[in-house]
């Protein structure tokens, strides 16, 4: 149940044989994200359980789920970009139908993230689901 934007990433990853190239692509995706306003980087938007500083600001609009995110770590900002492609724009009721771990697993992330990064990713997914009310 992945969005078209995420499916494009899956297709791009299929062409990249080397994990280092995939890692660079994730980092570049993070760099390409619009910056999050510093005023939104407050304790209420901070995601606990991440080794890096992570902020997610949810903005449901007309029944659709939207969010912004930022991190002080490039790879984590890239993970936020992946989650953005997976969730942003979905109807609020559909957020719970997304199996983010399985979708991200299609990219091979499960085998290539450290335990700390995996825990942080799990915390971001939990925050998204909680904020979407699912």
Please list the active-site residues.
50
Please state the separation of Cα 16 from the chain's center in Å. Answer: 20
Q: How far apart are CA 105 and CA 87, in angstroms?
A: 15
How many other CB atoms are there within 10 angstroms of residue 77's CB atom? Answer: 23
Q: How far apart are CA 52 and CA 55, in angstroms?
A: 10
Q: Of 16, 131, 33, which is closest to residue 84 (Cα–Cα)?
A: 33
Q: Of 100, 51, 89, 101, which is closest to residue 71 (Cα–Cα)?
A: 51
Q: How far apart are CA 69 and CA 57, in angstroms?
A: 6
Secondary structure of residue 68 in the 3-state scheme: strand
């Amino acid at each position: 149940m992945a969005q078209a934007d995420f499916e494009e990433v899956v297709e791009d990853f299929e062409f990249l044989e080397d994990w280092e190239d995939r890692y660079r692509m994730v980092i570049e995706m993070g760099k390409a994200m619009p910056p999050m306003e510093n005023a939104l980087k407050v304790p209420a938007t901070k995601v606990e359980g991440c080794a890096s500083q992570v902020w997610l600001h949810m903005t449901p609009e007309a029944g659709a789920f939207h969010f912004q995110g930022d991190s002080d770590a490039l790879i984590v900002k890239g993970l936020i970009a992946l989650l953005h492609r997976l969730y942003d724009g979905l109807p609020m009721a559909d957020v719970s139908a997304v199996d983010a771990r399985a979708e991200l697993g299609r990219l091979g992330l499960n085998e290539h993230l450290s335990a700390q990064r995996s825990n942080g990713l799990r915390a971001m997914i939990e925050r998204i689901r909680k904020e979407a009310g699912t």
